[in-house]
Structures are given as structure tokens and as C-alpha cells.
Chains A and B, each alone.
Chain A
Amino acid sequence: MEIAVEINGVSHSADVEPRTLLVHFIRDVVGLTGTNIGCDTSSCGACTIHLNGEAVKSCTVLAVQADGQQLTTIEGLADGEQLHPMQQAFMECHALQCGYCTPGMVMASVSLLDENPNPTEAEVREGLEGNLCRCTGYHNIVKAVLSAAGGGK
């Protein structure tokens, strides 16, 4: 089936099988490999992207469901060399170790602040319940999100 998906402001058309997962379309067809696959069972959140501005797990969406929609992946956050405030906060707070969960964590965190710009620490922890970090660096991840919410102060 012919689909056209806007990813990070650029339209991508392709002929895909209906069973193609959105994460495979993003990585293998479009070639944006920043979005990781962790569990492939909807559990870990490594594949989190934004679909029409909201965090979703792209291993649990079909590419055909995203036809005509707008996606943002981790590659679309920075403005040229200028990191997105959330990326900057992750860097400053040492919110990553191996980095595998990081693209999904950052995308989930940006969506969290869109919905709740001034979260408490408990709300940040709960808001990231769908994202697992195998290096268990949760403490600094929560610090980074709180720091980004406070404008980095």
C-alpha cells in the first residue's frame, strides 16, 4: 500500500506491506535509525516517537496507521546544532549511561512536559512509567526532566 508520512517536517512516500511496523518503516525504509527497538513487545519505550505531537510506541503502530500523519523522531528535536532543551538537560544531568533507552526517554519526556509543563518529581516518575532503562539511571533522568521543566535552572 502506498503511504505518505511526514517525518520531522519532510514527507516520505513508500509502498509498504500493511503489516510493516512503524518503527521498521522509520528505521529501514526512511533510514532514520535514532529510534531504537528494545523489546518489540510494547514494554520498554525505546521506540517512542511523537505521532501528531504525542508519545507513542512505534513498535505497536502499523506504518499504514501513520499514513498522512505527522511524526517527530529524536532526529527532529534539535534545531541545527542547537540541542532541544530536553536533550541539553539530559546531557547536563548525565541522564544517560549506555544511551540505548535515551531517544525514547527524551521523546517521552518532551511529550510529558507538553501535557504537564510543571510536574512534580512523582509525576515525572509516573509519566515515564512506559520507559525502561536497563542501566537504571532513573534518578538522573528524572533530574533532567525537572531541570528542563524549570528552564534548566
Chain B
Amino acid sequence: MIPVAFDYVRATSAAEALAALAEHGDEAKLMAGGHSLLPMMKLRLAAPAVVVDIGRITDLSYIRDGGDHVAIGALTRHRDIEISDLVRQHVPLLAAATGQVGDPQVRHRGTLGGALAHADTAADHPSVFLATGATVVVSGPNGQREITGPDLFSGFLESSLEPTEMITEIRVPKYTGAGWNFQKFNRRAQDWAIVGVSVQASSNGTQVALVNMHPTPVRATAVEEALASGADAATAAAQAAEGMEPSSDLNASVEYRQHLARVLTRRALQAAGIN
């Protein structure tokens, strides 16, 4: 399978990438690791006229201590996040989920910025983004803006970024020690989750986000509200499929996904020490 022909532009800085996007508008697509975009181009589900390769913008590949948060450059690869001591210590949920993405070959190429911009409900990172209360820093023709939480995800495989914008940094608040857990249920080790759950507790309460349970990455607000009003983990987890519209595919029916969401949420809450 070979993609439709396209023009290739290699950007060596964020400014060059933004200039290319400004020039070509929605004809153009950024390519970071290419591990979501290229498979879609090979299947001809995506056919951008211009590919802007941002994979070599090395100054957007970093992991820094930002005081109350960990700052991660958009082009930081999954592998670098998985093994980072800073991430393991301060955002253990992110390190754990990243280590379960695909396989080592995928983690050598895929980037955090790409994984969030792709906005795939079946992907692991969006759930971590929601459960940790992280923020993306976005650059565009009008300067910088920040997007936090569900506002980043506007539809099926659709982020709220404009075609002329790019993610430059992800800021993940430091974990405060109140409990976290990641659950991923799949049939083959390298696969996407059939259903997954990210849980992180903080002084603001417990945040629960689900993988592959809705057209967009989503927070399980019914579970969060039940916990906030004093329900125990098992009672709160029974609400995990409330308001969700999961799809039915060859891996799982709607009913099975609803069942998995409840079971995995209970396990995640209990493993996080929330009883």
C-alpha cells in the first residue's frame, strides 16, 4: 500500500512548520512520528496534498521540570517518556500508559504531540491527558494559546486545533500522591485498548477518563460525581458507562464495552487505593 502522491516539506523549526501551514492551509498535514498519519495515508483514509515533516525539530523534544508541572516538548517520542526518571517520578500514570502503547518499534517513532493531536478515542494518551488535567500549548498565526481538558477533543479523530496551528508543548501537573492507575484491556499485546481507564486522584477529587468508550476521548463524569458525593469505588464504577456511546466492532459489542468500562474502572479505582 502506497500513499497518494504528495509534496514533502521538511521543517527544521516550529516557525518553519507554521509558515508551511499558513501557506498551504488545510491541504497540508504535519507529520511527527507518522505512526498514525502514515498508516491512514497508506489506506488512503488520508490524502494530504502537502506533508510537513516536523520529525526533526529537535528543540521540541525535551522533558523538563516546570515546577508544579512536567513540561514535555510535542516532538518527544513515547520511548523517551517511558524511560524518563522525571516522568516516572512526577507523572507515573503517563509513564505507565506510555509503556503500553503499541510495541517498542512504535514507541521509537510516535510522539506525545502527535498522539494528542490525532485525538483518537482508542488511544491511551488522551485518557492520561484528561485524568491528569494536562494542558497543551498551541502555536499559530496569532501567537500562543493553551487548551486544557475535554476542549482539545472536538469529534471523532478530530481535535480543536485549527489547520494552521501546532502543539508545541504539553504541561502535565505533578502527581501529588493521592493515587493513580491505568487499566488497558486488549487481546494482542501490541494492540489499542478495547477499553481502557486512566485514574488519578488529587486534592480536587478523583479524575477518571475512558479509552474507546465514546466517539471522543472522554471523562467518566458520572463516576467522578459519585465519588465526590461519597460513593465507594464499586458503587461509583457501576456508573462508568453512563452517557457513553461506545462503538460496536469485531472486538466488542456495545454491551461488552459497557461491561468492560464498569469492571476496569472498579479495578483502576481500587488499585489506586480509592475504596
Q: Are A60 and B39 in touch, CB under 8 angstroms?
A: yes
B88 at the interface (CB under 8 A from A): no
User: A19–B35 Cα gap in the complex (Å)?
Assistant: 15
User: A18–B51 Cα gap in the complex (Å)?
Assistant: 9
Minimum distance in angstroms from B7 CB to a CB of chain A:
7
Q: Are B104 and A61 in touch, CB under 8 angstroms?
A: no
Contact flags B48-62 to A (C-beta < 8 A → 1, else 0): 000101010000000
- Chain B residue contacts of A57, Cβ below 8 A: 105-106
User: A82–B79 Cα gap in the complex (Å)?
Assistant: 32
Q: Across the two chains, which residue of chain B brings its CB closest to A41?
A: B39
User: A19–B41 Cα gap in the complex (Å)?
Assistant: 9
Q: Which of B85-122 contact A (CB under 8 A)?
A: 102-106, 108-109
Minimum distance in angstroms from A32 CB to a CB of chain B:
19
Q: Are B2 and A61 in touch, CB under 8 angstroms?
A: no
User: A77–B1 Cα gap in the complex (Å)?
Assistant: 28
Q: Are A129 and B103 in touch, CB under 8 angstroms?
A: yes
Q: Are B4 and A19 in touch, CB under 8 angstroms?
A: yes
- Chain A residue contacts of B34, Cβ below 8 A: 60-62, 65
Interface size class of A (residues with CB under 8 A): 20 to 34
Q: A42-B35, A60-B39, A129-B190 are in contact. Are A65 and B104 (CB under 8 A)?
A: no
Q: Are B53 and A65 in touch, CB under 8 angstroms?
A: yes
Q: Are A130 and B105 in touch, CB under 8 angstroms?
A: yes
Q: Across the two chains, which residue of chain A brings its CB closest to B79?
A: A54
Q: Are B105 and A56 in touch, CB under 8 angstroms?
A: yes
A6 at the interface (CB under 8 A from B): no
23 contacts between A and B (CB under 8 A): A1-B8, A17-B5, A18-B51, A19-B2, A19-B3, A41-B1, A42-B39, A43-B190, A45-B103, A45-B105, A54-B108, A57-B105, A62-B8, A62-B38, A64-B8, A65-B55, A108-B105, A112-B104, A130-B102, A130-B104, A130-B106, A130-B190, A131-B103
Count of B interface residues, CB-CB < 8 Å? 30
4 cross-chain pairs, A with B, having the tightest CB-CB distances, nearest first: A130-B103, A18-B8, A129-B189, A54-B108
A142 at the interface (CB under 8 A from B): no
Contact flags A20-61 to B (C-beta < 8 A → 1, else 0): 110010000000000000001111010010010011110011
Contact flags B1-35 to A (C-beta < 8 A → 1, else 0): 11111111010000000000000000000010011
Q: Across the two chains, which residue of chain B brings its CB closest to A40?
A: B1
Contact flags B231-254 to A (C-beta < 8 A → 1, else 0): 000000000000000000000000
Q: Are A19 and B55 in touch, CB under 8 angstroms?
A: no
- Chain B residue contacts of A15, Cβ below 8 A: none
- Chain B residue contacts of A19, Cβ below 8 A: 2-6, 41
B contacts, CB < 8 Å to A: 1-8, 10, 31, 34-35, 38-39, 41-42, 51, 53, 55, 79, 102-106, 108-109, 188-190
Q: Are B6 and A18 in touch, CB under 8 angstroms?
A: yes
A126 at the interface (CB under 8 A from B): yes
Q: Across the two chains, which residue of chain B brings its CB closest to A69?
A: B56
A111 at the interface (CB under 8 A from B): yes
Q: Across the two chains, which residue of chain B brings its CB closest to A58?
A: B105
Q: A24-B2, A54-B108, A130-B106 are in contact. List 6 more A-B contacts (CB 8 A).
A: A18-B7, A19-B3, A41-B39, A54-B79, A57-B105, A130-B190
User: A61–B38 Cα gap in the complex (Å)?
Assistant: 8
Minimum distance in angstroms from A103 CB to a CB of chain B:
14
Q: Are B109 and A61 in touch, CB under 8 angstroms?
A: yes
Q: Are B53 and A111 in touch, CB under 8 angstroms?
A: no
- Chain B residue contacts of A48, Cβ below 8 A: 105
Q: Are A55 and B105 in touch, CB under 8 angstroms?
A: yes
Q: Are A108 and B104 in touch, CB under 8 angstroms?
A: yes
User: A115–B79 Cα gap in the complex (Å)?
Assistant: 11
Minimum distance in angstroms from B111 CB to a CB of chain A:
13
User: A20–B3 Cα gap in the complex (Å)?
Assistant: 8
Minimum distance in angstroms from B189 CB to a CB of chain A:
4
User: A112–B38 Cα gap in the complex (Å)?
Assistant: 24
